[in-house]
Amino acid sequence: MTMPLSPDLTDALATFVAGRSPGHPVLVASDFDGVLSPLVDDPSASAPTPEATEALGRLATLPASDVRLALVSGRDLETLATLSRAPLGTELVGSHGAEQGVVVGTAGRDDGDEPASTTVEGHPFALTDDERSRLDAVRSGLEAIAHDAEGAWVEDKPSAAVLHTRRAEPDRAARAGDAARALGAQHDAHTMTGKDVVEIAVVDTSKGVALVRLRDELDAAAVLYLGDDVTDERAFEALSSTDVTVKVGPGETVARFRVDTVEDAAAVLAEVARLLA
Ligand SMILES: O=P(O)(O)OC[C@H]1O[C@H](O[C@H]2O[C@H](CO)[C@@H](O)[C@H](O)[C@H]2O)[C@H](O)[C@@H](O)[C@@H]1O
């Protein structure tokens, strides 16, 4: 069920939108899993809610001089583009900031028989030989850990490997998570703990670094960012008090505002689209 937005958040969104000026659009940015898309056991089955898709679509039709749209995710860029079905012109930040691109083409969206396809123009991304060999070692180590924890499995990304424990029994999941974090330290890698995941990356980045970079590239007047996970705290921390930060769901946060559900998150995006129309 969608709850009405709090008066404080509604006021903050109105102030946010009013802050745009010629050459300085507002930047509306969101996390994907747990914000636009409900969390599910199988990450390949994630999909944005119809309300989120509708709100993103409306934002994307507004003049780029007023608003720019971005998804900032731990997903790798290609998977983010495919699953999010982000509209044309959306800036995509993948792998927690290691990858970046923009949606330059969409096809097959209105034809039920055709798979949807999204074309992304991205900045080139490549690992060094040292990073590649450390990633191979991390991946093998995580595979061994997952093998000993029934229900756990490993997701591959261009710059990281991720141990998923959502389907493992809680004690086993906790032990596997501890072993994964120890593995990350052993390989001098960057370990991030998220919702039933431990991600070990060989590239040092964060959603905060990526979001500030994007804000500067776009000369944005202010940023709205919605996130649900521990890794989103880096984005909330990197923004300023004039930006609007929204935590989705429970858990400690430094965000200025909180909403409860993915439906409420879509309502925030819809309200921004309404204010800008
Ligand atoms: O930054 P995000 O867009 O929130 O991506 C974070 C991670 O999302 C995926 O894992 C999470 O969602 C899965 C599907 O709902 C769920 O099964 C898993 O437990 C969640 O942690 C994705 O698989 C990771 O690679 C992303 O880093």
Distance 196 CA to ligand 1 centre (A): 8
135: pLDDT strictly greater than 70 = yes
Within 87-184, strands assigned E span 91-94, 99-107, 117-122, 153-156, 160-164
Domain 129-201, CATH class in plain words = alpha beta
72: pLDDT strictly greater than 90 = yes
d(CA 181, CA 211): 26
Q: How far is CA 137 from CA 163, 182, 188, in A?
A: 14, 13, 11
Pair 138, 115: CB distance under 8 Å: no
Average pLDDT, the chain: 95
d(CA 132, CA 79): 20
Sheet holding 117-122, edge to edge: 117-122, 99-107, 91-94, 67-72, 26-30, 222-227, 244-248, 257-259
Cβ-proximal residues to 50 (8 Å cutoff; 6+ apart), any chain:
none
Element (H, E) at 224: strand 222-227
pLDDT score for 123: 80
- Which protein residue has the closest C-alpha to ligand 1 atom 21? 195
Please state which of the four CATH numbers 3.30.9.30, 3.30.365.10, 1.10.3720.10, 3.40.50.1000 is assigned to the domain occupying 7-126+205-276: 3.40.50.1000
Distance 37 CA to ligand 1 centre (A): 10
d(CA 162, CA 176): 12
d(CA 247, CA 255): 6
DSSP code of residue 24:
B
Distance 277 CA to ligand 1 centre (A): 32
76: pLDDT strictly greater than 90 = yes
d(CA 73, CA 65): 24
Mean pLDDT of 216-220: 97
pLDDT score for 112: 52
Distance 242 CA to ligand 1 centre (A): 29
Identify which of 197, 231, 262 to mutate to test ligand 1's pocket (most ligand atoms within 8 A of the CB): 197
Quick one: which atom of ligand 1 is closest to the CA of 196? 19
pLDDT in tens, 3-31: 799 999 999 999 999 999 999 999 999 99
Query: Cβ–Cβ contacts within 10 Å for residue 115, how many?
Result: 9
- Which protein residue has the closest C-alpha to ligand 1 atom 27? 74
Pair 141, 160: CB distance under 8 Å: no
The whole-model pTM stands at: 0.95
Q: Quickly state the pLDDT bin for 110 (edges 50, 70, 90).
A: low
pLDDT score for 117: 84
Chain centre distance of CA 150: 28
The angle, 0 to 180 degrees and rounded to 10, between the axes of the packed helices 262-276 and 7-18 is 40
pLDDT score for 167: 97
Structure-block tokens of residue 51: 């309300």
pLDDT score for 107: 85
Distance 26 CA to ligand 1 centre (A): 27
CA-wise closest residue to 37 among 3, 69, 85: 85
Quick one: which atom of ligand 1 is closest to the CA of 39? 15
Interface predicted TM-score (ipTM) of this complex, two decimals: 0.98
- Tell me the domain boundaries of the chain: 7-126+205-276, 129-201
Q: Quickly state the pLDDT bin for 237 (edges 50, 70, 90).
A: very high
d(CA 150, CA 168): 6
Q: How far is CA 21 from CA 5, 26, 66, in A?
A: 26, 9, 8
Mean pLDDT of 232-248: 97
